[in-house]
Structure 1
Amino acid sequence: MFYFYLKALHIIFVVCWFAGLFYIVRLFVYYAETKDMPELQSSILREQYTIMTNRLWNIITWPAAILATIFGAWMLVEQPFWLQQPWMHVKLLFVALLFAYHYTCHLFVKQINDRTLTKTSSFFRIWNEGATIILFSVVFLVILKSAVNWIFGVVGIVGLSILLMLGIKLYKRIREHKNN
């Protein structure tokens, strides 16, 4: 029964972690869009987005990442046979990618604090899909577990990625048309 409590806590903090990652990148988009605004408006919004970014990152996203990791590792200590499963190796690879994504977002937060962020809102719209792809990959791996099924899942994720990129390009064209 103890394992199920660990699993529940792990899932709760993974959800919080992803919520933080999804929203932080949305704040990056808003922050980047202030470059095209009049100086007074840009200054006010950048200050507000900096406050929001720091609160989200330090109060929700980092603690959720740490707690999700602790409870996930604890589950593996309680049930070490999971480490012998091939799908778990692939899942842990995606977790490593998630940490790389998280760390890169941390660097963007630092750039906002230092007022040196140079990426565009279009870049961040595409960047946001990285977390989506990792989330889909991990959920399919954990649910399907078998090698054949997760291969189909990965093919589906590639298809999803292509659809997301096409959607982003379409959205960009609609915004540009609206602004002209």
Structure 2
Amino acid sequence: MDSPSDAFLWVKALHIIAVVCWFAALFYLPRLYVYHAMSEDATSHQRFQIMERKLYRGIMWPAMLATLITAHFLVDWGDATQHYHEAIWFYLKVGLVGLLVIYHFVCGYYRKKLMVDAHYKSHKFWRYFNEMPTLILFAVVILVVVKPQF
């Protein structure tokens, strides 16, 4: 394989940064939901609403978009030598990323529900909900690094 171009390496670096930022937000927003559901006073509810809005709109959205855009370029450039479209692990990974995108939108839906009723769901629900991106992260990293042959 030829050495990757500088542009490819820059996009790859930006992709990794975007993924880390997106996952940080995917981990933290549901954790805020746990605390929001446990809060009892109006001041706390307002504080959590502000924190959740800023995290969702200011970090999660840009990080998700940057992740998906840089991924597109990496696949486009890398497919010539890596033949991603011939590998089952690649399609499994894309499917899991699709689940993360759905999870992202579900987080936004729940954020709006919590604005109306902080006790919409119990803090226990949010603790379990918070674990979903972790499971997907494990699977995606294994697929990308190990590239299992099915």
Q: TM-score, normalised by structure 2?
A: 0.89
Give the match for residue 48 of structure 1.
47
Q: Quick one: distance in 2 between partners of 1:96 and 1:122?
A: 25
Letter in structure 1 aligned against 2:75:
L
Percent identity, please.
Answer: 36
Contact 2:114 2:120 in 1 (8 A): no
By relative contact order (CA 8 Å, sep 6+), the higher-ranking structure is 2
Give the match for residue 137 of structure 2.
135
Give 1 or 2: higher helix fraction.
1
1:116 to partner: Cα distance: 6.5
CA RMSD for the aligned pairs?
1.4
Give the match for residue 96 of structure 2.
94
Give the match for residue 4 of structure 1.
9
1:24 and 2:25 equivalent? Answer: no
Contact 1:111 1:117 in 2 (8 A): no
Give the match for residue 75 of structure 2.
76
Contact 2:15 2:66 in 1 (8 A): yes
Letter in structure 2 aligned against 1:66:
L
Give the gaps of 5 or more residues in structure 1.
Answer: 149-180
1:67 and 2:66 equivalent? Answer: yes
1:86 to partner: Cα distance: 1.3
Number of aligned positions between the proteins: 142
Give the match for residue 163 of structure 1.
none
Letter in structure 2 aligned against 1:26:
R
Q: Quick one: distance in 2 between partners of 1:88 and 1:66?
A: 20
Equivalent positions of 1:111-150 (< 5 A) are: 111-115=113-117, 118-147=120-149
Letter in structure 2 aligned against 1:137:
A
Q: TM-score, normalised by structure 1?
A: 0.75
